[in-house]
Amino acid sequence: MKVPENVLKRAENYIVDKDYGIEILDQNKVRKEKKEEIVTVDTTIYDKGDRVRLLDYDDYGIVYATEDKFSNVQVYYKGEMLVVNQKRLKLK
């Protein structure tokens, strides 16, 4: 069967001496489980009429329309309507 000679000797040693070669391992050779980091995402839902801080302008505006499928919110700011992603807003 072409089994290497050292494997046969080790198997014979297991049977005869019951020596399984149990030694203490170095801690750096022991595999450790990786911990998954949980990332929390701010999922504030903006309603019509909310006062929000526009982070790009460092000023405040009022939500005119709630978020769409791309997480964009329509904000009334200084007489004009802006479409801003919700990540660029902060609820006041």
- Please name which of 56, 54, 91 lies closest in space to residue 76, comparing C-alpha atoms: 54
Q: Where are the domains of the chain?
A: 51-91
Mean pLDDT value across residues 78-83: 94
CB 83, CB 74: distance < 8 Å: yes
The per-residue pLDDT for range 46-76, each reduced to its tens digit, is: 999 999 999 999 999 999 999 899 989 999 9
Kindly state the helix (H) or strand (E) to which residue 52 belongs, with its residue range.
strand 51-54
Length of the chain: 92
- Please name which of 54, 55, 77 lies closest in space to residue 64, comparing C-alpha atoms: 77
| Chain centre distance of CA 81 | 34
The per-residue pLDDT for range 11-36, each reduced to its tens digit, is: 888 888 877 767 776 777 777 788 88
